Amino acid sequence: MSRSSCAFIRAVVAVLLVPAVSIALVASMETSASAAWPPLAEVYKRARERALAVTEAQGNIGVAKSSITGARVSSLGNPSLQVLVDRGERGVTDGAQVLGQLQLPIEVAGQRGRRIREAETFVDWRTMNREEVRARVGGAAIAAYGDALVARARLVLAERGEREAQAEAQYFAARLAAGDVNLVDRSLADAELARWSQLRVEANIMLLRARQELELLMGMGHLDDPPETATPEAPALHVNTSDVFVGRVLNISPLLRSLGKESQYWQAQRERAEAEKSPPVSLILSGGRGDTGETRYGGGLGWTFPITRRNQGEIARAYAEQGRTEGVREATQRALGIEADHAFEAYTKVRSGIEALDKVGIPAAQRVVDATQAAFLAGKVELVRTFIARRDLAAAQGRRLDFLSTAWHTYGDMVALMGDLP
């Protein structure tokens, strides 16, 4: 093959491969691309739909619905046929007698209706159990969302402090080389830089863990970090007083409603077991041939008397389960009232503490930093005083983020209690 032919073939192959490679690269980039940081409403919705616990609860509903298929079978049982052939004593009768009996069990005590009601209440219980799971998952997702935002704010604070400490360390290194400061001041600046570097690493780890928890709850791949401008402020409440919030929790709590549905299920199971104390009545049709060749036919009913076995164990268990459920529901109602009241009070106090820091604590610490920095530059105070002032400011800012983290977790607890955004 000539050189010109080989060059032509290579050119054709290159032209064909370039679009294919470009498409593959774009597809791989789209596959590995991170999802943008979502808003709170989307996080709450996706977690309630795609979390592992919700998926399992949804599957339990499908399993419960399958029991309706068995409950709706006909009240007529499976027919049975018996054929008997016998022969009398030789010399008395020489013919054979044939007798066939067809038996058809029929439920006459309302068993089918009770079975259907039991299956339907079982589905209702599992459905409400899914809502209770959704409430818990939604609250956990909100807490993880807040953790990520707070961790991002900590990271921003640590990175800013590290940059300032780096510049200051370089400044003192230059002054030490010029003989303007001593080794103690240089070492203090280096120690301050190391402290901010450690805080940055810690904030990064906290952000990674919060983001991982959020990804698991949302059932999705890699999420981007929150943007630097994302605010870590916790949501405001739509209820004004603790009494209103407690009332809403006790009225619409998915946990209480799930326990109520469970109690109804055990009652329906008991009613079904009581109905099945009475066995089906058997309709009997008989026909055959006598030993003299005559045709014989007849009919009758068969009945089993419920004397010794009357589903005593199943009925007793259903009674006990219903009593247990009612007792748990009453205790849970009291506990939810206490939890809701304390959660509302805690959330209110945390927000008050944040407002106090914003109005007094942080501005005062910032003024101390400014004053000590100016005094140090004027040669009136030692360097360590400026570091102490900066650490006090950082502590106040960190305390504010601690309050915000508590607020997010408390808000998530309130969502889990109520099953909705408060």
Asked whether residue 21 is domain-assigned, the answer is no
172-193 average pLDDT score:
81
Q: What is the pLDDT of residue 31?
A: 37
CA 145/CA 28 separation, integer angstroms:
28
Confidence of residue 7 (pLDDT cuts 50, 70, 90): very low
Interatomic CA distance for residues 354 and 406, integer angstroms:
11
Compute the average pLDDT of residues 62-82. Answer: 92
Segment 18-40 shows an average pLDDT of 52
Mean pLDDT of the chain: 87
Q: What is the pLDDT of residues 110-162, one digit of tens each?
A: 999 999 999 999 999 999 999 999 999 999 999 999 999 999 999 999 999 89
Percent of the chain predicted with pLDDT > 70: 90
pLDDT at 19 > cutoff 50: no
Domain residue limits at 412? 51-88+97-418
CA distance 239 to 249: 12
Instruction: Output DSSP code: residue 279.
Output: P
Is the pLDDT at 180 greater than 80, yes or no? no
The most confident of the ranges 164-168, 270-274, 291-295, 370-374 is 270-274
CB burial of residue 220 (10 Å; 0-12, 13-18, 19+): middle
Confidence of residue 90 (pLDDT cuts 50, 70, 90): low
The pLDDT value given to residue 80: 92
| CA–CA distances in Å: residue 185 to residues 162, 301, 383 | 17, 107, 7
Question: What is the CATH number for 309?
Answer: 1.20.1600.10
Q: Report, as an integer, the average pLDDT of 162-184.
A: 81
Pairwise CA distance, residues 236 & 234, whole Å: 7
* Residue 346 scores a pLDDT above 80: yes
Question: Residues with Cβ < 8 Å from 333, sequence gap 6 or more?
Answer: 250, 256
Rounded CA-CA distance 153/28 in Å is 32
pLDDT tens, position by position, 33-57 = 567 889 999 999 999 999 999 999 9
**Is 348 inside any structural domain?**
yes
Residue 33 belongs to some domain of the structure:
no
β-strand partners of 283: 104, 301
How far is residue 195's CA from residue 75's CA, in Å, rounded to a whole number? 78
- 134-143, 225-234, 290-299: which range is least confident on average? 290-299
pLDDT value of residue 422: 85
Q: Is residue 10 part of a domain?
A: no
CA atoms of 422 and 414, how far apart (whole Å):
7
What is the per-residue pLDDT for 386? 85
Cα distances (angstroms) measured from residue 152 to each of 315, 372, 403? 57, 29, 15
Coarse DSSP helix, strand, coil percentages of the chain, rounded to the nearest 5 percent? 70, 10, 20
CB 283 within 8 A of CB 301: yes
CB atoms within 10 A of CB 102: 15
Contact between 272 and 118 (Cβ < 8 Å): yes
Question: Of the ranges 16-30, 32-46, 179-193, 253-267, which is most confident?
Answer: 253-267
Count of structural domains within the chain: 1
Strand, coil or helix: 179: coil
Alpha carbon 171 to its chain centroid, in Å, reads 52
306-332 pLDDT, tens per residue?
A: 888 888 999 999 999 999 999 999 999
Res. 11 pLDDT band, cuts 50 70 90 = very low
Q: Is residue 24 part of a domain?
A: no
Average pLDDT over residues 168-196: 82
Q: What is the mean pLDDT of residues 336-349?
A: 96
Task: Kindly give, in sequence order, each residue whose CB lies less than 8 Å from that of residue 298, ignoring residues fewer than 6 positions away.
Answer: 285, 286, 287
